[in-house]
Structure 1
Amino acid sequence: MAIQKRKSVKDIKTHAGIVNKRFLPHEAYMRITTLEMERVHRIREMESARQRIKTVTDRIKEIDIEKNILLDRIKATTESFPVNTKASIKTDDIARDNRGQLLRY
Protein backbone atom coordinates (compact mmCIF):
# COMPACT_ATOMS: atom_id res chain seq x y z
CA MET A 1 0.00 0.00 0.00
CA ALA A 2 1.43 3.38 -1.07
CA ILE A 3 1.64 6.33 1.29
CA GLN A 4 -0.91 8.99 0.37
CA LYS A 5 0.13 12.61 0.24
CA ARG A 6 -1.60 14.84 2.81
CA LYS A 7 -3.90 17.43 1.30
CA SER A 8 -3.59 21.09 2.25
CA VAL A 9 -5.28 24.41 1.47
CA LYS A 10 -3.46 24.46 -1.86
CA ASP A 11 -5.41 21.39 -2.98
CA ILE A 12 -8.88 22.95 -2.52
CA LYS A 13 -10.61 23.39 -5.86
CA THR A 14 -12.29 26.75 -6.42
CA HIS A 15 -14.03 28.50 -9.26
CA ALA A 16 -12.32 31.85 -8.68
CA GLY A 17 -9.96 31.58 -11.61
CA ILE A 18 -12.46 29.85 -13.89
CA VAL A 19 -15.05 32.65 -14.12
CA ASN A 20 -14.55 34.54 -17.33
CA LYS A 21 -14.94 38.31 -17.49
CA ARG A 22 -18.50 38.70 -18.55
CA PHE A 23 -20.84 41.57 -17.81
CA LEU A 24 -22.51 41.14 -14.44
CA PRO A 25 -25.34 43.60 -13.73
CA HIS A 26 -24.87 43.61 -9.97
CA GLU A 27 -21.22 44.66 -10.41
CA ALA A 28 -22.30 47.45 -12.75
CA TYR A 29 -24.87 48.70 -10.21
CA MET A 30 -22.24 48.63 -7.47
CA ARG A 31 -19.85 50.64 -9.67
CA ILE A 32 -22.62 53.16 -10.45
CA THR A 33 -23.29 53.51 -6.72
CA THR A 34 -19.64 54.19 -5.92
CA LEU A 35 -19.42 56.71 -8.76
CA GLU A 36 -22.50 58.57 -7.47
CA MET A 37 -21.07 58.64 -3.95
CA GLU A 38 -17.78 60.03 -5.24
CA ARG A 39 -19.68 62.63 -7.28
CA VAL A 40 -21.56 63.85 -4.20
CA HIS A 41 -18.29 64.00 -2.27
CA ARG A 42 -16.63 66.08 -5.01
CA ILE A 43 -19.60 68.47 -5.18
CA ARG A 44 -19.39 69.06 -1.42
CA GLU A 45 -15.64 69.54 -1.70
CA MET A 46 -16.14 72.09 -4.50
CA GLU A 47 -18.76 74.03 -2.49
CA SER A 48 -16.43 74.10 0.50
CA ALA A 49 -13.60 75.43 -1.68
CA ARG A 50 -15.90 78.14 -3.07
CA GLN A 51 -16.81 79.19 0.47
CA ARG A 52 -13.14 79.36 1.47
CA ILE A 53 -12.35 81.47 -1.61
CA LYS A 54 -15.23 83.82 -0.78
CA THR A 55 -13.98 84.18 2.80
CA VAL A 56 -10.44 84.99 1.62
CA THR A 57 -11.73 87.46 -0.99
CA ASP A 58 -13.86 89.24 1.61
CA ARG A 59 -10.89 89.51 3.96
CA ILE A 60 -8.71 90.94 1.16
CA LYS A 61 -11.37 93.61 0.54
CA GLU A 62 -11.45 94.44 4.27
CA ILE A 63 -7.64 94.74 4.29
CA ASP A 64 -7.71 97.11 1.29
CA ILE A 65 -10.38 99.28 2.93
CA GLU A 66 -8.48 99.48 6.21
CA LYS A 67 -5.21 100.22 4.39
CA ASN A 68 -6.84 103.06 2.43
CA ILE A 69 -8.31 104.53 5.62
CA LEU A 70 -4.89 104.50 7.29
CA LEU A 71 -3.19 106.00 4.23
CA ASP A 72 -5.80 108.78 4.13
CA ARG A 73 -5.21 109.52 7.82
CA ILE A 74 -1.44 109.63 7.26
CA LYS A 75 -1.91 111.96 4.29
CA ALA A 76 -4.21 114.26 6.27
CA THR A 77 -1.74 114.34 9.17
CA THR A 78 1.30 115.10 6.99
CA GLU A 79 -0.55 117.86 5.14
CA SER A 80 -1.44 119.65 8.37
CA PHE A 81 1.97 119.05 10.03
CA PRO A 82 4.72 118.83 7.40
CA VAL A 83 7.78 116.90 8.52
CA ASN A 84 11.21 118.09 7.48
CA THR A 85 12.88 114.81 6.53
CA LYS A 86 16.24 116.43 5.71
CA ALA A 87 16.60 117.83 9.21
CA SER A 88 15.77 114.51 10.86
CA ILE A 89 19.14 112.99 9.84
CA LYS A 90 22.22 114.96 10.85
CA THR A 91 25.01 115.18 8.33
CA ASP A 92 27.54 114.45 11.11
CA ASP A 93 26.03 110.99 11.54
CA ILE A 94 26.72 110.04 7.93
CA ALA A 95 30.12 108.56 7.06
CA ARG A 96 31.03 108.39 3.41
CA ASP A 97 33.37 105.88 1.84
CA ASN A 98 33.63 103.82 -1.35
CA ARG A 99 30.70 101.60 -0.37
CA GLY A 100 28.21 104.44 -0.14
CA GLN A 101 26.56 105.97 2.88
CA LEU A 102 26.81 104.41 6.33
CA LEU A 103 24.75 105.61 9.25
CA ARG A 104 26.34 105.61 12.72
CA TYR A 105 24.06 105.11 15.66
Structure 2
Amino acid sequence: MAIQKRKSVKDIKTHAGIVNKRFLPHEAYMRITTLEMERVHRIREMESARQRIKTVADRIKEIDIEKNILLDRIKATTESFPVNTKASIKTDDIARDNRGQLLRY
Protein backbone atom coordinates (compact mmCIF):
# COMPACT_ATOMS: atom_id res chain seq x y z
CA MET A 1 0.00 0.00 0.00
CA ALA A 2 1.34 3.36 -1.04
CA ILE A 3 1.60 6.25 1.39
CA GLN A 4 -1.09 8.81 0.65
CA LYS A 5 -0.21 12.45 0.26
CA ARG A 6 -1.36 14.62 3.14
CA LYS A 7 -4.22 16.93 2.14
CA SER A 8 -4.29 20.60 3.08
CA VAL A 9 -6.61 23.58 2.72
CA LYS A 10 -5.48 23.94 -0.87
CA ASP A 11 -7.03 20.57 -1.69
CA ILE A 12 -10.59 21.52 -0.60
CA LYS A 13 -12.82 21.74 -3.64
CA THR A 14 -15.15 24.74 -3.80
CA HIS A 15 -17.48 26.22 -6.35
CA ALA A 16 -16.03 29.70 -6.01
CA GLY A 17 -15.08 31.13 -9.36
CA ILE A 18 -16.94 28.43 -11.27
CA VAL A 19 -20.22 30.38 -11.55
CA ASN A 20 -20.71 31.93 -14.94
CA LYS A 21 -21.06 35.72 -14.64
CA ARG A 22 -23.52 36.05 -17.48
CA PHE A 23 -26.94 37.72 -17.14
CA LEU A 24 -29.44 35.47 -15.39
CA PRO A 25 -33.10 36.51 -15.82
CA HIS A 26 -34.28 34.97 -12.55
CA GLU A 27 -31.72 37.07 -10.64
CA ALA A 28 -32.94 40.19 -12.43
CA TYR A 29 -36.55 39.38 -11.54
CA MET A 30 -35.55 38.82 -7.93
CA ARG A 31 -33.79 42.19 -7.84
CA ILE A 32 -36.84 43.88 -9.41
CA THR A 33 -39.03 42.27 -6.76
CA THR A 34 -36.85 43.54 -3.91
CA LEU A 35 -36.78 47.03 -5.45
CA GLU A 36 -40.58 47.08 -5.72
CA MET A 37 -40.95 45.94 -2.11
CA GLU A 38 -38.57 48.66 -0.96
CA ARG A 39 -40.50 51.22 -3.03
CA VAL A 40 -43.79 50.24 -1.38
CA HIS A 41 -42.13 50.43 2.03
CA ARG A 42 -40.80 53.94 1.30
CA ILE A 43 -44.20 55.12 0.04
CA ARG A 44 -45.85 53.92 3.26
CA GLU A 45 -43.09 55.57 5.28
CA MET A 46 -43.65 58.85 3.39
CA GLU A 47 -47.43 58.72 3.96
CA SER A 48 -46.87 58.07 7.65
CA ALA A 49 -44.50 61.05 7.85
CA ARG A 50 -47.08 63.26 6.11
CA GLN A 51 -49.71 62.18 8.63
CA ARG A 52 -47.38 62.96 11.55
CA ILE A 53 -46.62 66.40 10.07
CA LYS A 54 -50.35 67.07 9.65
CA THR A 55 -50.99 66.04 13.26
CA VAL A 56 -48.24 68.35 14.52
CA ALA A 57 -49.49 71.24 12.36
CA ASP A 58 -53.05 70.76 13.66
CA ARG A 59 -51.79 70.80 17.24
CA ILE A 60 -49.82 74.01 16.57
CA LYS A 61 -53.03 75.62 15.28
CA GLU A 62 -54.89 74.50 18.42
CA ILE A 63 -52.13 75.95 20.60
CA ASP A 64 -52.28 79.29 18.77
CA ILE A 65 -56.07 79.43 19.13
CA GLU A 66 -55.94 78.63 22.85
CA LYS A 67 -53.13 81.15 23.38
CA ASN A 68 -55.13 83.90 21.64
CA ILE A 69 -58.20 83.09 23.73
CA LEU A 70 -56.18 83.35 26.93
CA LEU A 71 -54.52 86.60 25.82
CA ASP A 72 -57.95 88.07 25.00
CA ARG A 73 -59.24 87.08 28.45
CA ILE A 74 -56.20 88.65 30.11
CA LYS A 75 -56.68 91.82 28.07
CA ALA A 76 -60.39 91.99 28.99
CA THR A 77 -59.57 91.46 32.68
CA THR A 78 -56.85 94.12 32.78
CA GLU A 79 -59.10 96.63 31.03
CA SER A 80 -61.83 96.19 33.62
CA PHE A 81 -59.37 96.17 36.56
CA PRO A 82 -56.43 98.45 35.74
CA VAL A 83 -53.19 97.55 37.47
CA ASN A 84 -51.36 100.25 39.42
CA THR A 85 -48.40 101.31 37.30
CA LYS A 86 -46.28 102.06 40.37
CA ALA A 87 -44.40 99.28 42.09
CA SER A 88 -46.83 97.01 43.88
CA ILE A 89 -44.32 96.26 46.65
CA LYS A 90 -43.63 99.15 48.98
CA THR A 91 -40.16 99.74 50.31
CA ASP A 92 -41.52 99.41 53.86
CA ASP A 93 -42.43 95.80 53.11
CA ILE A 94 -38.83 94.87 52.35
CA ALA A 95 -36.79 93.73 55.33
CA ARG A 96 -33.02 93.47 54.99
CA ASP A 97 -30.76 91.23 56.96
CA ASN A 98 -27.66 89.16 56.33
CA ARG A 99 -29.64 86.58 54.27
CA GLY A 100 -30.54 89.07 51.56
CA GLN A 101 -33.91 90.61 50.82
CA LEU A 102 -37.07 89.20 52.36
CA LEU A 103 -40.45 90.19 51.06
CA ARG A 104 -43.37 90.46 53.46
CA TYR A 105 -46.84 90.15 52.09
TM-score calculated relative to the size of structure 2: 0.77
* Distance in 1 of aligned mates of 2:94 and 2:18: 92
SS at match of 2:74: helix
Bigger shift: residues 57-66 or 17-26: 17-26
Bigger shift: residues 63-72 or 91-100: 91-100
Give the length in aligned residue pairs.
105
| Shift in Å, 1:21 | 1.7
| Shift in Å, 1:100 | 14
| Shift in Å, 1:68 | 0.1
TM superposition outliers: structure 1 runs of 4+ over 6 Å: 93-105
- Unmatched runs of 5 consecutive residues or more in structure 1: none
Bigger shift: residues 95-104 or 26-35: 95-104
Deviations 1:42-99, CA, capped at 9 Å, x for gaps: 0000000000000000000000000000000000000000011423122356799999
Bigger shift: residues 26-35 or 86-95: 86-95
| Shift in Å, 1:6 | 5.4
Cα distance change of structure 1 residues 100 and 20 upon mapping to structure 2, 3 Å threshold = farther
RMSD: 3.7
Cα distance change of structure 1 residues 83 and 23 upon mapping to structure 2, 3 Å threshold = same
* Distance in 1 of aligned mates of 2:100 and 2:36: 69
* Distance in 1 of aligned mates of 2:36 and 2:93: 74
SS at match of 1:44: helix
Cα distance change of structure 1 residues 93 and 22 upon mapping to structure 2, 3 Å threshold = farther
- Unmatched runs of 5 consecutive residues or more in structure 2: none
* Distance in 2 of aligned mates of 1:83 and 1:73: 15
1:20 and 2:48 equivalent?
no
TM-score calculated relative to the size of structure 1: 0.77
| Shift in Å, 1:102 | 11
